[in-house]
Amino acid sequence: MIEKNPENIERHGGNPDRACPHCNAPSQQVGANCTECNKTVSTVLPTYAETVHIVKILSREWFYKMTPLRWILFTFLLFITGVYIWQTQIIPNPVILLAKHPTTELSSMSKFGEWSMASSNMQRTRHVKEFNQQPSGKLLWSTEEGFLSGISLPSIVDNTVFVGSSFKFFFLDASTGEIKLERDMGGHINSSPAISESLVYFGSTDTHVYAIDRFTGETHWRFKAKSLTSGAPLVSNGMVFIGSGDEHMYGLDAATGKLLWKYFAGMHISSSPSLENGVLYFTTANGLFSVNYRTGQSRMHFRTYNIDNYEPPVLANGLVYMDKSGTLQITKAGLREWPGRHRFETIWRILWVHRWSLPKPPAQSGTLWRLYPDNKKAWISSVPAVTETGLYVGDSDGKFYARHPVDASEIWTFQAKGEIRSSPIIVGSNVYFGTTDGIVYSLDTRTGERLWELNLGSPIKLPPSFAEDKLFFRTEDGKLHAIH
């Protein structure tokens, strides 16, 4: 074994000895073969003495020997690190996780034969996979003219239709359309209800979020926001998520109505939230937001303008689909915006525009593509219904598009008679939608073949619901129709 002494260092060209990085044998010559394992002693890793020094720094001895100045510096750095982590929300908020947790696991996800929330599922895809039979285009019943007002969409559970109106909330028989229960409210109910077990959740223009008993109509709890709540709530993992005109997204305990968290978006929130993989998505007029569903901490703000604030973002195929300025905006889902990146890229763009010698700044993280109508003067005014193999949406020219959901390549296009103002619904291999000339269309999703059509006699500007093998359409004359 080579001895660690001045003569040894001199004999090997002045190179210091170190521990073998392979077998840890001490006092081995750097660059030579180890006397124990015969492998080359690398110069990349620290020497034995350096390794011992690093261990000592990280040991308790370093803390015991710290001077007051070092303690002050250490405390300051620890404080700055803590503030940075807290402000940038890199880790989940421990206060909310430990002290503010939901008391149940209530969920509004639709079960077989139900439509227990707007768009049927958490991702808002408007895709029904399981059912008994397709509607054949026969009108089952219609309410009287002027029965409903506003934009609340019906939810259906256990043969009961739940829908809001002007200062009213109705429970209807899904088979006959007869009123089972009628409840007076303190404001307009534009919010589409979400139902979980025995409770019905919805917002009101009287600034309250309500949870009422779905059998008696009695108030179970109500939560007061600072402005109207018109979006459709989403219930998941024992929490209710709903946005408000006071520019906040709220996370409430579904059983008690207790506030668990709130997120300030900076603009009025009328859209309904969507949820996937523990991330809550919603839109305002200035872009798409995503937050941690459990704590409400920000993950991303995709900045884009003229977003339709009434339409929910649709989550499918690892993408987010949004209605923007008469087109569809598609971005990546699940992204995280790192602190300071937007400000840095904004300065970069400003300098680049002013002809500084800088490379062209990249597009905003998550940007993918947009879908435009065939006619440049037409517009898309709704979000699509989406499956794994197709994206379906209509435009103001009456064109109904079937496109590949990932790259927007054409599958087929169908020409309807009137404008298409609302989202379609997909049931198995059929897609259904309404037009402003009052016609309901049924098409084959694979070929675009028209299967049947039904004239309801009044413009259709709101999307349908589907439950118990029946379609439910609202028309502009205030009627609610059931088609089987």
Rounded distance, CA 49 to CA 99, Å? Answer: 48
Residue 355 pLDDT class (50, 70, 90 cuts) = confident
Longest dimension (CA), the chain: 107
Region label for 349, one of left (φ > 0), alpha (ψ between -120 and 50) or beta (otherwise): alpha
- Does residue 190 have a pLDDT over 50? yes
State the first-to-last Cα distance of the chain, in angstroms, to the nearest integer: 91
For residue range 147-175, what is the model confidence (pLDDT) as tens digits?
A: 999 999 999 999 999 999 999 999 999 99
Rounded distance, CA 207 to CA 203, Å? Answer: 7
Tokens of 350: 């400003």
For residue range 218-269, what is the model confidence (pLDDT) as tens digits?
A: 999 999 999 999 999 999 999 999 999 999 999 999 999 999 999 999 999 9
The answer to whether 288 and 281 are in contact (CB under 8 A) is: yes
Give the residue extent of every domain in the chain.
6-98, 102-372
Residue 415 pLDDT class (50, 70, 90 cuts) = very high
Instruction: Note the pTM of the prediction, 2 decimals.
Output: 0.82
- Does residue 140 have a pLDDT over 50? yes
Tell me the fold of 102-372: Methylamine Dehydrogenase; Chain H (2.130.10)
For residue range 38-66, what is the model confidence (pLDDT) as tens digits?
A: 888 776 555 555 555 555 555 555 555 66
Burial pattern 186-220, b for ≥16 Cβ within 10 A else e, equals ebbbbbbbbbbeebbbbbbbbbbbbbbebeebeeb
Residues above pLDDT 70, as percent of the chain: 89
| Whole-angstrom Cα Rg for the chain | 30
Tell me how far CA of residue 281 lies from CA of 63, 135, 167, 276, in angstroms.
45, 32, 29, 8
Instruction: Evaluate the CA torsion angle 270, 275, 280, 282 in order and state its sign.
Output: negative
Residue that is written with structure tokens 């049924």 in the block: 442
Rounded distance, CA 462 to CA 109, Å? Answer: 21
Rounded distance, CA 191 to CA 8, Å? Answer: 84
Question: How would you classify the pairing of strands 319-324 and 327-332?
Answer: antiparallel
Q: What is the model's pLDDT at position 475?
A: 98
Residue 7 pLDDT class (50, 70, 90 cuts) = very low
Tokens of 154: 């019906």
- Does residue 447 have a pLDDT over 80? yes
Supply the mean pLDDT for the chain.
90
For residue range 106-124, what is the model confidence (pLDDT) as tens digits?
A: 999 999 999 999 999 999 9
